[in-house]
Amino acid sequence: MTDLRYHPGADQLAIVGTIDESLLELLPLSRLHASHDEDAAIWTSLEEIGVFTMGVSEEQGGSGLGAVEEALVAMRLGSRLASPGILATIGARRLLSGKQTDSLRAAAAYRHGGRIIVVEEPQAALVLLRQSGDASLHELPAGDAKAIDDRLWLAGLREAARLGPTLARFDEAQLARLRLLDAAALAGIAEAALDMSVAYAGTRQQFGRAIGTFQAVKHHCADMAIVARCARDQVSVAAVALDDARADARLQVECAFLMSGSAALANSGKNIQIHGGMGFSDEADPHLFLKRARLLIAIAGGLEEAARRIAAIPGA
C-alpha cells in the first residue's frame, strides 16, 4: 500500500502549466457573451498546442501523455468553459488514434429518454453519443436536426431524428477515460467559480467594508474551497489509478465524476449568490459557470446515474 501514488508528479504539473498559460489567453470568458461557439482561431490554436492529441501515442502522431496529464488539461479547459465539442473531440481523437484525424471535430450528444440531443458544433463531422453505460462515435448527418434551444444553456441544442453509422464504440477502459474528462472539466468549473467569488468578495464594498469580511460570505467561500479541493484531489486520484491500472480505477473515476459534478453545481450557485443582483444578470459572468456545469452533467448522464453506477460496483 505504501507504493500507491495518489497525486500527479512535478513533471506532469510542469507540462500542464505550460499549456495553461496558453489557455488563459486563448479562452477568455468574455468570448461567451458574443457567441457560445468557439471560433476557428481557437480550434486552430488548440490543435497547434496538441490538446486534441495529448492522449494519442507518439507512434500514432500524438504526445503519448497519460490520464493524469489529460485530466489536468481538462480541468483548465473546464475552468475556461471550453465548449463540450472540444472535450468530445479529445475523446474522439483518442478512440480513432492511428487513423487520419487531423482537423477532425466531434459534437457532443446524449440520449434523453427516447430523444437524441446534439450540442451544436459548427464544422463537426462526427458526433460522440453518450447514453447509459455506453458511448459511441457516429457520422453526423446534415440538415435533419430540430432546434430546441439557442440561449438558455450556453449552447445550441438540437434534437436529431437519427445519427449516421456507428464508427466505433468505447470499451470499458476508453469509457473510463471519457468520464474522467467530464469529471476534470467539472472540477475546473468548481475551482474557477471559487476563484471568481473570492476575487469579487475582496473588492466589492458594502457599508465601507469588503463583503469578504462578512461572516456569511466568508463561510460560503470556505465551503466552496473545501468542495473544489475535494473534487480536484479526487480527479487526481482517479487519473493516477487509471494510469497505474489499479483495480479500484473504475470506482475512483465514478466517484470523481459524482464529486466534481456536485462541486461544480454548488460552487456555481454560490458564486451567483455572492455576486448578488449582478450575479443574476445576463451581462455578468457567474451564470456562465452554472449553465456549462449543468450541460456537461447532462451530457455525461447525470449525477443520479453516477450514484447508481457506484452502488453497482462490487465492494464500493
Mean local confidence (pLDDT), 55-59: 87
- Quick: pLDDT tens for 134-143: 999 999 887 7
Give the CATH architecture of domain 172-312. Up-down Bundle (1.20)
Mean pLDDT of the chain: 92
Total-model pTM: 0.95
233/41 Cα distance (integer angstroms): 32
Q: How many CB atoms lie within 10 A of CB 157?
A: 20
Q: What are phi and psi of 114, to 5 degrees?
A: -95, 5
Band (pLDDT 50/70/90 cuts) for residue 1 is: very low
- Quick: pLDDT tens for 243-286: 999 999 999 999 999 999 999 999 999 999 999 988 889 899 99
Band (pLDDT 50/70/90 cuts) for residue 316 is: low
- Grid cell, residue 273, equals 449568490
146 forms beta bridges with: 159
Q: Is the pLDDT of residue 49 over 50?
A: yes
pLDDT of the residue at 98:
67
Mean local confidence (pLDDT), 60-86: 93
Ordered by start, the domain boundaries in the chain are 172-312
pLDDT of the residue at 3:
67
Sequence-distant (6+) residues with CB within 8 A of 18 are: none
- Quick: pLDDT tens for 88-120: 999 999 998 767 677 789 999 999 988 999 999
CB–CB of 260/184 below 8 Å?
yes
- Grid cell, residue 289, equals 459557470
Mean local confidence (pLDDT), 63-77: 93
- Cα Rg of the chain, angstroms: 19
Share of the chain above pLDDT 90, in %: 71
What are the C-alpha distances in Å from 274 to residues 77, 108, 269? Answer: 24, 32, 9
- Quick: pLDDT tens for 183-220: 999 999 999 999 999 999 998 888 889 888 898 999 99
Q: Is the pLDDT of residue 13 over 50?
A: yes
CB–CB of 194/228 below 8 Å?
yes
pLDDT of the residue at 220:
95
pLDDT of the residue at 93:
93
pLDDT of the residue at 8:
81
- Grid cell, residue 106, equals 466531434
- Grid cell, residue 315, equals 465492494
Tell me which of 296 and 23 has the higher pLDDT: 296
Alpha helices by DSSP H, listed for the chain, are 10-26, 31-34, 40-48, 67-79, 84-95, 172-203, 215-243, 249-274, 286-299, 303-312
187/195 Cα distance (integer angstroms): 12
Q: How many CB atoms lie within 10 A of CB 198?
A: 16
Nearest Cα residue to 298 out of 180, 182, 127, 190: 182
CA angle, corner 279, sides to 265 and 298, nearest 5?
A: 30
Sequence-distant (6+) residues with CB within 8 A of 36 are: 83, 154, 155, 156
Half-sphere exposure of 129 (CA within 13 A, CB side): 21
